[in-house]
Copies of this chain bind each other. A is one copy, B any other.
Amino acid sequence: MKDLVSECPVENAMLVLGGRWRILLVYYLLEGTKRFSELRRDMPKISQRMLTLDLRALEEAGYVTRTIIPQVPVRVEYSLTEEGRRLKTLVEVLGECGDRLASRGYVKAA
């Protein structure tokens, strides 16, 4: 078990789910099980390295499972756990925030 960083649940959630891509990954995995290459297609702007690291972090936090299908070439599939699927509300609320930002003409440059 890792060290407790904060008593604040919001801070802890942001430590795990903050960052530019992680919740977006959850969003795409809510569509169903995906292979690494499919996630790359969903999110063309993320680097291969960041995608690997973010998937690993989500796996470590119990939100994502990684299944290796022994065939040639080996196939690796990612899907949400039950805990991961519970993040649907968060994804929806964030989507509403994004819609409101866009409707106010505010979109952040990268």
Contacts and interface: CB of A to CB of B under 8 A. Distances in A.
Interface of A: 1-5, 8-21, 23-24, 27, 60-62, 83, 86-87, 89-91, 93-102, 104-110
25 contacts: A3-B107, A3-B109, A5-B110, A8-B98, A9-B99, A9-B102, A10-B95, A10-B98, A11-B24, A12-B101, A12-B102, A13-B97, A14-B20, A14-B21, A14-B98, A17-B97, A18-B18, A18-B19, A60-B106, A61-B106, A62-B104, A86-B100, A87-B97, A89-B93, A90-B93
Main secondary structure of the interface of A (DSSP, over half): helix
Contacts of A98: 8-14
B108 A16 contact: yes
Q: How many copies does the complex hold?
A: 2
A59 to B, nearest CB: 12
Contacts of A107: 1-5, 12
Nearest to A16: B108
A105 B16 CA distance: 13
